[in-house]
Chain A
Amino acid sequence: MAAHLKKRVYEEFTKVVQQQQEEIATKKLRLTKPSKSAALHIDLCKATSPADALQYLLQFARKPVEAESVEGVVRILLEHYYKENDPSVRLKIASLLGLLSKTAGFSPDCIMDDAINILQNEKSHQVLAQLLDTLLAIGTKLPENQAIQMRLVDVACKHLTDTSHGVRNKCLQLLGNLGSLEKSAAKDTEGLAVRDVQKIIGDYFSDQDPRVRTAAIKAMLQLHERGLKLHQTIYNQACKLLSDDYEQVRSAAVQLIWVVSQLYPESIVPIPSSNEEIRLVDDAFGKICHMVSDGSWVVRVQAAKLLGSMEQVSSHFLEQTLDKKLMSDLRRKRTAHERAKELYSSGEFSSGRKWGDDAPKEEIDTGAVNLIESGACGAFVHGLEDEMYEVRIAAVEALCMLAQSSPSFAEKCLDFLVDMFNDEIEEVRLQSIHTMRKISNNITLREDQLDTVLAVLEDSSRDIREALHELLCCTNVSTKEGIHLALVELLKNLTKYPTDRDSIWKCLKFLGSRHPTLVLPLVPELLSTHPFFDTAEPDMDDPAYIAVLVLIFNAAKTCPTMPALFSDHTFRHYAYLRDSLSHLVPALRLPGRKLVSSAVSPNITPQEDPSHQFLQQSLERVYSLQHLDPQGTQELLEFTIRDLQRLGELQCELAGVADFSATYLRCQLLLIKALQEKLWNVAAPLYLKQSDLALAAAKQIMEETYKMEFMYSGVENKQVVIIHHMRLQAKALQLIVTARTTRGVDPLFGMCEKFLQEVDFFQRCFIADLPHLQDSFVDKLLDLMPRLMTAKPAEVVKILQTMLRQSTFLHLPLPEQIHKASATIIEPAGESDNPLRFTSGLVVALDVDATLEHVQDPQNIVKVQVLYPDGQAQMIHPKPADFRNPGPGRHRLITQVYLSHTAWTEPCQVEVRLLLAYNSSSRIPKSLWIEGGEMAPQVETSIEGTIPLSKSVKVYIMPKPARR
């Protein structure tokens, strides 16, 4: 890579010179590209058979081509295209043309004429299709050029009558991607007839080939995506396609109907075979609901998914989806849900059902029963009991989205969601529990529903149980029996699965604080107090007892009468728990005790938070004082950093911002300190020792900048520029220090070159942000770039040194939302004295359980590191499936780490910790050329460095020698 970059740098400059010298365009091409195109040309001439030529082209396609040589390569390719008889080679050339025209920095308008030309003479359908694809690539590359777009659309229209479906497909794709958006603009380019793209595409909805029909619908959707308003007439056409024979057509048609329904929700459409009219969105909703019972599961998934986003639909249509109108022998029957509800409301809970309890009641008029065209009727009932779990998950998701927007629907769908807790596939169960949590604001659980929900607490899957705990955290319970039931079931859960301890405590905390009035009457029973007798003091270490206390204390927070019911030992236990489990036990206003914490009173929350103000002010102070004497600056920085760190500790919501700014200031401080070093004034041979300090500072700045860039979520581009700028300064510092300490010029050459590459790289990546960096180090550097390029290393170092000293302190704009990534390893706890014994040479699996906060994309970047006592370190990549996402911004890693080592004489500790792997080049968009090439996967996985994310945990292990 580096070598390649280097070549690129030099190539650019040689070219600039040559372009000035050369006048004749045709010659320029040959001369400027000595390597690539010429080699290709020779290769292609050498090729004796089409297979040979194909081989050369394939080889050629593996390597990237610079933007400057693209045109030459294209000419060569075209030349061969005209000569070539074999369609497969022409096909490859056509595809290469498309690929080449995508090269960044190359404007493909010059090859368009040729492409259209060869299109006209081409006979092979496959090659035609590929050429149209190339034109599409060219067209998308030049979105501004109206004339070219018109021309391409024209070409596409001409080939629409082709007999091959592939060609027609591509034409429609072209129309969809390039069809003009505004008619007025089209009229300006005279000579070309104004075409109604929608009409043309619409005509192909009835093509004989299903693939073309699909392509036509997709093209229409593409038009919509590009911002063209589709006509309402399309709705009827699309409805016809819903009964197409082919699933891909139906699937696309469902999407199209959805799009139209979102565009014209309020317009009125007639119902066929009656003179009634309904809103379009309702009609579309009915039609999509009907597709939930389609024959193909792909269509069913599609339909179920789209239902979720149709929020404008009228409520009675919505509620129909849950109603299946049961009947038995032509008599109306109530659903089991209705019966359960009735039983509950009549005060009798479980009666032990008799046979014929569900006996049908009233007679149904046979004429009134409509078995098919009931539209939305029972769509979700069908979707939720579909054979394919993909459909069921989609239905649950849709249910969730609709319920979030409609409280009455949320109430109704509850029964169905509760039923899904018994699904046979765990994923579906989990999904429905999550869904329930999301809509829990809108609902209150009935006791019988709560019963079913709580039954799932015995599930052996940890994920399910934890999801359920999360759900209970935000559930509204209606009665005190409900609370009692929940507590009993949770305690049962606790005895069955003791590892759920933390999760259950947390759950009870919320349960208590949400329902103080319901907990109040339960207190005597829960604490087993007696009005006359003293009861035995419960065991303080019993997790079940702690669970009960957590519930009660949290309820007592908003219920001042409750502490009166406590017995003496309860108060003692309170004091103990308040200290040991302060995150679960709130501060209580207890009689005879002063309130423990009064720092943050929640009722005084002014709009302008004083601590936030403080943060702003201290930062502004730093940024405004740029030209103080170095001593003063240093002191101010030191104080501000100290303030910020303290602030971050006190105010957890500002922790991210404070830490982030403090880190930046620390970098600055280090830089200033390094530049203040005496070494700059001492003669070269004497400062060997001091230079260590400066080098260490440079290294530390680099580390800090990586942390800033990758450990915080919510960092925006403007911060990234500043961070990179800081890193560049650190690199400059490094270069200068090395230049002063090393003798000889040779190693410097390499370093200078590398540094200049970095500058070049910086310039290319952040070209848009450069105007904001005025007066900065890089700004000055870029001014002097041409000089630096040609200068000797010693001179470069000199320039850099002065510039670094003159450079100003850049203001770091604070992002809106910024959070520092953090992780805690819950398991292994690192307390065990019993070593983990295993036979050396074999492996032992260590369960690792950790929570991650504010880590973006943890699947790719979080790694586990194991450090053995002999210094050997292992990095383990957890599987993507090991990460769970219990809430926004939070992740949970539950994985197994395999340890192995040769035999030891006695047990020793290994360290386990989490790392954040980063790769700074991942931010840069990869060149399109490499897509599908062999290089891509390597780029994806390469790790440039790592940042420790969590504290390390020690695990005691003992590999025994194998017994013979």
Chain B
Amino acid sequence: MPEIRVTPLGAGQDVGRSCILVSIGGKNVMLDCGMHMGFSDDRRFPDFSYITRNGRLTDFLDCVIISHFHLDHCGALPYFSEMVGYDGPIYMTQPTQAICPILLEDYRKIAVDKKGEANFFTSQMIKDCMKKVVAVHLHQTVQVDDELEIKAYYAGHVLGAAMFQIKVGSESVVYTGDYNMTPDRHLGAAWIDKCRPNLLITESTYATTIRDSKRCRERDFLKKVHETVERGGKVLIPVFALGRAQELCILLETFWERMDLKAPIYFSTGLTEKANHYYKLFIPWTNQKIRKTFVQRNMFEFKHIKAFDRAFADSPGPMVVFATPGMLHAGQSLQIFRKWAGSERNMVIMPGYCVQGTVGHKILSGQRKLEMEGRQVLEVKMQVEYMSFSAHADAKGIMQLVGQAEPENVLLVHGEAKKMEFLKQKIEQEFRVSCYMPANGETVTLSTSPSIPVGISLGLLKREMAQGLLPDAKKPRLLHGTLIMKDSNFRLVSSEQALKELGLAEHQLRFTCRVHLHDTRKEQETALRVYSHLKSVLKDHCVQHLPDGSVTVESILIQAAAHSEDPSTKVLLVSWTYQDEELGSYLTSLLKKGLPQAS
């Protein structure tokens, strides 16, 4: 029985370090290669030694697929390919390919330059690693080798995020990566066709949440910003450089445009500028509105949003500033925060989750006096707001995607075990498919019953079809032909053609059967009686009496002869070919019952 085996090396009942091994149809594929935010020791990268203890990864893995550019999905890639050693193809979409190295470089800088780690991958390694990348387009079927093919679907989430279908023969697995089922201001919603995979591997970050409509959140956000700016206050929005930042920029930009506002909006950090450049280039990956209007104006060419300069923070008047990092723990956003915190006219909006211990977390939990380094106490008078803009599918969205793809099995990754439990139960209950949630290192084995395609010759098909096609085409039909198996491909052809192809002569298989009849008359007369009997019984068959005294029914021959020992018994010799087996056996049984008494 063929099997599909799945082993998460990361992201099994956990968020972060996504890395899933899939063996399907004899092919081994690695899905994502991420790092873990929570660790800074060896645990931050997946344990690649699980794949092969000794020997090269390249020999073992057929390909690596990266779903999107977030570091928890691609952070370990240079380590994996350059330090552990992998030379096979790495597949990702073009936006991911473009943005991924920027983030990796940033990550490397923080790790090496700031924290001073040794034995970390170098810039050159990132470059070398990116050389192994093969870009794929949406809905493009890429042949990795003769049997393995992959196909990308749109996933929302971030620019260039994709879901991947991995297919070997008739077996397939879909890996969603991270996805979002509700569109936002710059990206569309994830979409997949009814591909009916054997297995769907889906993320489950929000397995137990059903979210409110995003419109309320947007409206709230805009109203708060607008009010603050109108009364001359300054708004600080700490963000991560990529993803949400762009969504909020678009949101504010369009609002400014609509309302004809004049207050300046600034965006800090050089990293974002580079990323914005890529957003401009990858318009086909954005949502309907941006795609439709970019001919007139590219939405990412912001009119109102300008680059931030350190000096602007002190200038008077209202302004809105996006600054990194998002949790207010260091860098520019913290600097600006310290400058502005004193005035109650100002406002800080936290658009995302903050880790415990950061300034962001403290102010969100209501702390008004913060201790800064150097025993300074900072009093926070500015308004603090929290707005959640998240780009993961909620429970309803996950169910919707499962409904769209109609998989045979579902496997949950990228989520907390407790929450997965709930979703697993729901999926099993509502779709009646089995659902798995392996922990890291645990292997799930699914046996599949792949359908084997058999080619049929058109002539044969037409001949069989001609025997009457019923509208109910789903009903099974009986078909006569010869199955030829030749170098792992199957063909169904008519028997004549099969003989011809194989160079075999046709053998005739004839069945003969003797039936003893008690009849005192002569052979000819017996034959005549048999003839008239059969003629009356088999009305829709062609029954003939030949001049040599034998009787034929279609191609079945019946001859009567006298018994050598007992003259009162006649022996009927019935002979038929293999093809007429049905009629032949029916005839013998008919004759065995004897002839009706002559009247």
**Bind each other:** yes
| A interface with B by C-beta (< 8 Å) | 160-161, 163, 203-204, 206-208, 245, 293, 295, 324-330, 333, 335-337, 352-358, 366, 369-373, 378, 381, 384-389, 416, 419-420, 422-425, 452, 455, 458-461, 496
The answer to whether B384 touches A424 (Cβ under 8 A) is no
23 sample A-B contacts, Cβ–Cβ < 8 Å, listed by A number = A160-B471, A207-B473, A245-B194, A295-B404, A324-B213, A325-B210, A326-B211, A335-B213, A335-B216, A336-B216, A352-B383, A352-B385, A353-B220, A355-B365, A355-B366, A371-B426, A372-B400, A373-B430, A384-B213, A385-B213, A387-B287, A387-B288, A455-B223
What is the bound-complex CA distance between A584 and B581, given in angstroms?
101
Kindly provide the distance from the CB of B529 to the nearest chain A CB, expressed in whole angstroms. 44
The answer to whether B219 touches A372 (Cβ under 8 A) is no
The answer to whether B188 touches A208 (Cβ under 8 A) is no
CB contact between A387 and one of B189, B192, B211, B217 (< 8 Å): that residue: B189
Kindly provide the distance from the CB of A426 to the nearest chain B CB, expressed in whole angstroms. 9
| B interface with A by C-beta (< 8 Å) | 182-183, 185, 188-189, 191-194, 208-220, 222-223, 226, 254, 257-260, 287-289, 350, 364-366, 383-386, 395-396, 399-400, 403-404, 419, 422, 425-426, 430-431, 465, 469-474
**A-side contacts of B366, CB under 8 Å:** 354-355
The answer to whether B385 touches A353 (Cβ under 8 A) is yes
Chain A minimum-CB-distance residue to B471: A203
The answer to whether B386 touches A422 (Cβ under 8 A) is no
What is the bound-complex CA distance between A436 and B331, given in angstroms?
47
The answer to whether A460 touches B257 (Cβ under 8 A) is yes
The answer to whether B217 touches A161 (Cβ under 8 A) is no
**A-side contacts of B473, CB under 8 Å:** 206-208
What is the bound-complex CA distance between A333 and B260, given in angstroms?
36
CB contact between B471 and one of A204, A389, A425 (< 8 Å): that residue: A204
**A-side contacts of B403, CB under 8 Å:** 372
A336-B220, A461-B258 known; A422-B430 Cβ under 8 A: no
Q: Classify the interface of chain A: helix, strand, loop or mixed.
A: loop
**B-side contacts of A370, CB under 8 Å:** 430
Additional pairs, 12, CB under 8 Å, beyond known A206-B472, A373-B430, A387-B183: A203-B472, A206-B471, A207-B473, A295-B404, A324-B213, A335-B216, A336-B216, A385-B213, A386-B183, A422-B222, A458-B260, A496-B260
**A-side contacts of B216, CB under 8 Å:** 335-337, 419
The answer to whether B219 touches A161 (Cβ under 8 A) is no
What is the bound-complex CA distance between A327 and B211, given in angstroms?
7
**A-side contacts of B218, CB under 8 Å:** 422
Kindly provide the distance from the CB of A241 to the nearest chain B CB, expressed in whole angstroms. 14
CB contact between A371 and one of B226, B257, B260, B396 (< 8 Å): that residue: B396
What is the bound-complex CA distance between A420 and B216, given in angstroms?
10
What is the bound-complex CA distance between A461 and B259, given in angstroms?
9
Chain A minimum-CB-distance residue to B211: A326
What is the bound-complex CA distance between A606 and B193, given in angstroms?
66
**A-side contacts of B188, CB under 8 Å:** 387
Chain A minimum-CB-distance residue to B383: A352
Chain B minimum-CB-distance residue to A204: B471
What is the bound-complex CA distance between A293 and B189, given in angstroms?
11
In the A-B complex, the 7 residue pairs with the smallest Cβ-Cβ separation, listed nearest first, are A336-B216, A387-B183, A355-B386, A419-B215, A355-B364, A208-B473, A458-B259
Kindly provide the distance from the CB of A700 to the nearest chain B CB, expressed in whole angstroms. 50
Chain A minimum-CB-distance residue to B465: A163
What is the bound-complex CA distance between A67 and B480, given in angstroms?
56
Kindly provide the distance from the CB of A920 to the nearest chain B CB, expressed in whole angstroms. 41
The answer to whether B212 touches A372 (Cβ under 8 A) is no
The answer to whether B260 touches A452 (Cβ under 8 A) is no
Kindly provide the distance from the CB of A371 to the nearest chain B CB, expressed in whole angstroms. 5
Kindly provide the distance from the CB of B185 to the nearest chain A CB, expressed in whole angstroms. 6
A366-B425, A371-B395 known; A425-B289 Cβ under 8 A: yes
Kindly provide the distance from the CB of B250 to the nearest chain A CB, expressed in whole angstroms. 8
Kindly provide the distance from the CB of B294 to the nearest chain A CB, expressed in whole angstroms. 14
The answer to whether B399 touches A161 (Cβ under 8 A) is no
**B-side contacts of A203, CB under 8 Å:** 471-472
A325-B210, A419-B219, A422-B219 known; A353-B386 Cβ under 8 A: yes
Kindly provide the distance from the CB of A622 to the nearest chain B CB, expressed in whole angstroms. 59
What is the bound-complex CA distance between A326 and B395, given in angstroms?
10
The answer to whether B419 touches A295 (Cβ under 8 A) is no
CB contact between B183 and one of A335, A366, A373, A385 (< 8 Å): that residue: A385
The answer to whether A389 touches B213 (Cβ under 8 A) is no
Chain B minimum-CB-distance residue to A245: B194
CB contact between A326 and one of B193, B210, B287, B469 (< 8 Å): that residue: B210
The answer to whether A460 touches B260 (Cβ under 8 A) is yes
**A-side contacts of B364, CB under 8 Å:** 355-356
**A-side contacts of B212, CB under 8 Å:** 324, 326, 333, 335-336, 358
**B-side contacts of A366, CB under 8 Å:** 422, 425
What is the bound-complex CA distance between A336 and B226, given in angstroms?
19
The answer to whether B386 touches A328 (Cβ under 8 A) is no
**B-side contacts of A326, CB under 8 Å:** 210-212
Chain A minimum-CB-distance residue to B206: A328
Kindly provide the distance from the CB of A296 to the nearest chain B CB, expressed in whole angstroms. 9
Chain B minimum-CB-distance residue to A426: B258
Kindly provide the distance from the CB of A175 to the nearest chain B CB, expressed in whole angstroms. 13
What is the bound-complex CA distance between A372 and B432, given in angstroms?
13
Kindly provide the distance from the CB of B284 to the nearest chain A CB, expressed in whole angstroms. 14
Chain B minimum-CB-distance residue to A496: B260
What is the bound-complex CA distance between A327 and B182, given in angstroms?
17
The answer to whether A371 touches B399 (Cβ under 8 A) is yes
What is the bound-complex CA distance between A372 and B474, given in angstroms?
29
**A-side contacts of B222, CB under 8 Å:** 422
**A-side contacts of B469, CB under 8 Å:** 161, 163
Chain A minimum-CB-distance residue to B192: A295
**B-side contacts of A371, CB under 8 Å:** 210, 395-396, 399, 426, 430
Kindly provide the distance from the CB of A321 to the nearest chain B CB, expressed in whole angstroms. 13
Determine which residue in B254, B289, B425 has the highest number of CB atoms from chain A within 10 A of its CB, and name it: B289
Chain A minimum-CB-distance residue to B215: A419
What is the bound-complex CA distance between A388 and B182, given in angstroms?
11
What is the bound-complex CA distance between A737 and B407, given in angstroms?
86
CB contact between A389 and one of B215, B289, B395, B419 (< 8 Å): that residue: B289
Kindly provide the distance from the CB of A431 to the nearest chain B CB, expressed in whole angstroms. 15
**A-side contacts of B191, CB under 8 Å:** 295
What is the bound-complex CA distance between A386 and B365, given in angstroms?
34
Chain A minimum-CB-distance residue to B188: A387
What is the bound-complex CA distance between A243 and B209, given in angstroms?
27
**A-side contacts of B465, CB under 8 Å:** 163
Chain B minimum-CB-distance residue to A422: B219
CB contact between A385 and one of B214, B289, B422, B471 (< 8 Å): that residue: B214
**A-side contacts of B288, CB under 8 Å:** 387-389
What is the bound-complex CA distance between A207 and B469, given in angstroms?
11
**B-side contacts of A422, CB under 8 Å:** 215, 218-219, 222
Kindly provide the distance from the CB of A454 to the nearest chain B CB, expressed in whole angstroms. 12
**B-side contacts of A353, CB under 8 Å:** 220, 385-386
What is the bound-complex CA distance between A326 and B182, given in angstroms?
15
**B-side contacts of A425, CB under 8 Å:** 289
CB contact between A327 and one of B192, B193, B209, B404 (< 8 Å): that residue: B209
What is the bound-complex CA distance between A385 and B183, given in angstroms?
7
The answer to whether B223 touches A295 (Cβ under 8 A) is no
Kindly provide the distance from the CB of B440 to the nearest chain A CB, expressed in whole angstroms. 23
**B-side contacts of A336, CB under 8 Å:** 212-213, 216-217, 220
The answer to whether A330 touches B471 (Cβ under 8 A) is no
Kindly provide the distance from the CB of B404 to the nearest chain A CB, expressed in whole angstroms. 5
The answer to whether A372 touches B399 (Cβ under 8 A) is yes
Kindly provide the distance from the CB of B305 to the nearest chain A CB, expressed in whole angstroms. 17
**B-side contacts of A333, CB under 8 Å:** 212
**B-side contacts of A337, CB under 8 Å:** 216
**A-side contacts of B226, CB under 8 Å:** 455
The answer to whether B185 touches A424 (Cβ under 8 A) is yes
Kindly provide the distance from the CB of B183 to the nearest chain A CB, expressed in whole angstroms. 4
Kindly provide the distance from the CB of A797 to the nearest chain B CB, expressed in whole angstroms. 64
What is the bound-complex CA distance between A605 and B530, given in angstroms?
106
What is the bound-complex CA distance between A366 and B429, given in angstroms?
12
Kindly provide the distance from the CB of B206 to the nearest chain A CB, expressed in whole angstroms. 9
